[in-house]
Structure 1
Amino acid sequence: MLARFFSTPAKSSVTDPSRIYQGWPLTEIPDAVLQEFGVTTITSAERFGTGLINDTFLVATADGERYVLQALNPVFDPQINVDIDTLTRHLEKKGLATQRIRPTQDDKLWIELDERSWRMTSFVPGVCHDMLTSGRQAYEAGALLAKFHLAVDDLEIELHTTRLGVHDTERHLAALREALEVHRDHEAFAAIETLAEAVLEAAEELPALPELPDRLVHGDPKISNLVFDADTGNAICMIDLDTLAHMPLPLELGDAFRSWCNPCGEDTEGTMFRLDLFTAAIEGYASQARDFLTTQESTSLIPATRTIMVELAARLTTDALNESYFGWNPDMFANRSTHNQVRAAGQLELHRSLCEQLSEVEAAVERAFN
């Protein structure tokens, strides 16, 4: 018998997986999958989380155990499970809570069925947030990300998959310029051209980032990828490890601050960079890793955060013309282009808000690390 699901997954503004795989979302778990992992006496199975990339389910068994079962989107090479297994074993040895992969009965890390790769992991109880609401949460988030970075710093691993160009800002700006040339007949071209000009102007004003060493990082440290203890409020676990990458640390932290310090969400032009959330987050990070960052890395944190904001604005503006990459919310917007225009404008406003507080933000970094 198939485990069936009737709940509709929450809408999200992340990349639309249907662009890559038309079989999303799944509405049932094949028996063969559960049997492969040795889990047959389930009492409940429900769609889990708000992500749209993988199909994710929380499975409860008759003996009281709970597991996270995922059908990976084909955008991910299943060999990433080898990297995740290596990483989580390392994290566990370091004393950090982590989701461990539950092997199949044949001791495999994943199985292939109907053109999908399936894996099962342990479940870490707690709560996840879609945005920060307090300085305490920001401090905890910063401290947990620092603990993660410290724990993996001595892990020598050659990743099976790489995310080439994920933060290649010049490449994203070139793609925007190309889209402007190709889509001059777009019905919203005039408005998008004005937006693009603002993005390119902001890019011209970005401070240059120095050559920085690559480090092993999470790759997508948005707040919903952190688990908080439901009782204490402590941040306890980083999840969704498919995005593991080697990249300069300031870019990882910049991506975190971009999302953590905007309490307004990304579906509005009315964004803001909250200094109090940033101060708490950077103090939380420094409480664990004050001597971990080099001086060059710590002084690059704000330029990197600005770069990430403008880079995302460029990507969103490009897709306002291409209309082929980012997902969109039809309940809020008339079409994908309109949604992308709003989000791009929101990132520019977030960048403007940060720049208005530049001296205060830089002072917060200086206090935290010196």
Structure 2
Amino acid sequence: MNYPDWTEALESHYAIKVASGDIHPFGDGHIHQTFLVKSGADAYILQAFNKNVFNYPERISHNHEILLEGINPKDLPFILPLPIPTKTGALLAEDKGSMFRLSPFVAGRCVNEVNDPRQAYLAAEAFAIFIRAAKDLNPQDFQESIPSFHDLSLRFRQLQEATNHTRRHFDQELREVVDFYLAQESLVQEYENWRKILPLRVTHSDTKINNLIFSENMDKVRAVIDLDTIMAGYAMYDFGDLVRTVACTEGESSRNWEKIKVDWEKYQALLNGFLEGGKGLLKEEEIESLPFGGKMMTCIMGFRFLADYLNGNIYYAIHYERQNLDRAINQMWLLKGLGESNS
């Protein structure tokens, strides 16, 4: 993709003057190309928007406008770095065929894994506080930035379809993995049962640990970032993705099958932090659904990884041919571990 001259684009759309030497690639995000922009004493994050992943940029801008108008920063103990409006009030700018946006830069540390339970507690507390801060907003006013993102029933049907139409050879290993996931139909039914009784919330919907900025000494959360997936959802989604990515003893690409277990100490820290952050908001049924959320979010990623492998690796980036199958096996072991309650 050919990007515009950022110096000209920033001055044209934001009236910000900056030298080309003050714009540098930043971070290791996989979706939007990101730059750190310095203008005098001010610093910003510039993102070239990836329309191939997010097909509905106008929906994201719509959701961000609601947040800008509806959330009082005083209700948050951290920063929510939403896009800065252009001179015309738009949250996305377009220049020479490229879409981009500008947001405040927040200094601190982003990490890819949690080293101790205290960090897990802080992470879960922060994401729950966001849900609580958005309690007066109508979740149905938010548009789906990624349609049916966490719809377990849909992902199960997609796996069934991929199984029926795959060109992969079914050796014993692949057959065992496919059979395991197709046998999770009872989990899908439980998901549908929860959907009938849980209240919709405004959720972050992508609660990985690297979507937080911590202070340098890791003693508090300074910002909740990557706000493109904010939309209507259930509290169990956000808690569940934390469990999947924080409470597992191995990363999702690990092939050390025998080492893939649940770190119950981190799990409990996540639960305590989420309950503290959601205190006064979360209803009894929501609290009861949280353990299911961990299983559900692990299962949905197993469905998605396995379906992508069966479809020929057309969605997730891979470094070797069977990586999506290995990811599905990884999630299978974690799902088994989550079924072994520590209580």
Whether the TM-score (by the shorter chain) exceeds 0.5 is yes
**Which residue of 2 is the match for residue 342 of structure 1?**
326
Secondary structure at 2:261 match in 1: coil
Which structure 2 residues correspond to residues 303-342 of structure 1 after superposition, within 5 A?
303-322=292-311, 323-328=313-318, 330=319, 333=320, 335=321, 338-342=322-326
* Residue 128 (structure 1) shift: 1.0
- Give the alignment's TM-score, normalised by structure 1: 0.81
Compared CA separation, residues 190 and 178, structure 1 to 2 (3 A): farther
Question: Equivalents in 1 of 2:114, 2:68: separation in Å?
Answer: 26
For residues 96 and 170 of structure 2, what CA distance do their matches in structure 1 show? 40
The size of the alignment, in residue pairs, is 327
SS of corresponding position for 1:171: helix
Query: Is the CA contact 1:172–1:311 (under 8 Å) kept in the aligned structure 2?
Result: yes
Q: Which residue does the alignment assign to 1:168?
A: 151
Q: Alpha-carbon deviations, 1:196-250, whole Å to 9, x = none?
A: 1111224446671422121111111111111111135211221111101111211
Alignment of 1:343-362 (within 5 A): 343-356=327-340, 358-360=341-343
Q: Distance in 2 between matches of 1:293 and 1:66?
A: 37
Query: In structure 2, what is the equivalent of residue 279 of structure 1?
Result: 268
Instruction: Mark the runs of 5 or more structure 1 residues left unpaired by the alignment.
Output: 1-22, 361-370
The question of whether the paired residues in 1 share the 8 Å contact of 2:127 and 2:277 is answered with: no
* 1:149-298 alignment, distance < 5 Å: 149-156=131-138, 158-183=141-166, 185-187=167-169, 191-204=173-186, 208-209=190-191, 210=194, 211=196, 212-231=198-217, 233-269=219-255, 270=257, 271-298=260-287
CA distance in 1, matches of 2:150, 2:109: 29
Corresponding residue for 1:122? 104
How many Å separate the matches in 1 of 2:9 and 2:228? 20
Name the structure 1 match of 2:7. Answer: 31
Q: Deviations over 1:131-173 (max 9, x none)?
A: 1111110111111112111111112361244433222222211
Gaps of 5+ in 2: none
Deviation per CA, 1:67-94: give whole Å up to 9, x if none: 0001111124332224214314514242
Letter in 2 for 1:316: F
Determine if contact 1:206/1:303 at 8 Å carries over to the other structure.
no
Which of 42, 59, 63 is matched with 2:37 structurally? 59
The normalised TM-score by structure 2 is: 0.87
Q: RMSD of the TM alignment (CA)?
A: 2.2
Greater mean deviation of Cα atoms: 137-146 or 269-278? 269-278
CA distance in 1, matches of 2:80, 2:161: 42
Q: Identical aligned pairs, as a percentage?
A: 25
- Per the TM alignment, residue 257 of structure 1 is displaced from its structure 2 partner at its CA by 1.5
Counterpart for residue 143 of structure 1: 125
The alpha-carbon distance between structure 1 residues 349 and 29, as it changes in their structure 2 partners (threshold 3 A), is farther
1:94 matched to 2:108? The reply is no
Matched to 1:178, the amino acid is E
Q: Is the 8 A contact 1:67 1:121 kept in 2?
A: yes
* CA shift in 2, pair 1:207/1:282, >3 Å: farther
8 A Cα contact 1:273 1:350, kept in partner? yes
CA contact (8 A) 2:23 2:38 kept: yes
SS at match of 2:183: helix
- After TM superposition, the structure 1 stretch with the greater mean CA deviation from structure 2, 129-138 or 41-50, is 41-50
Alignment partners' CA distance in 2, 1:123 and 1:65? 8
Residue aligned with 1:300, SS: helix
Q: Deviations over 1:104-153 (max 9, x none)?
A: 23443221123331110011111111111111101111111121111111
- Larger deviation, residues 314-323 vs 109-118: 109-118
Deviation at 1:31, TM superposition (A): 3.4
Moved more, 137-146 or 261-270: 261-270
Paired AA for residue 120 in structure 1 = L
Q: CA deviation at 1:290?
A: 3.1
Distance 1:167 1:279 in 2: 23
Partners of 1:65 and 1:354 in 2: CA distance: 46
Please state if 1:72 is matched with 2:62.
Answer: no
Runs of 4+ in 1 over 4 A off after TM superposition: 26-29, 187-190
CA displacement, residues 18-77 of structure 1 (integer Å, 9 cap, x when unaligned): xxxxx3xx787543322222233234322222221111111122x121100011111243
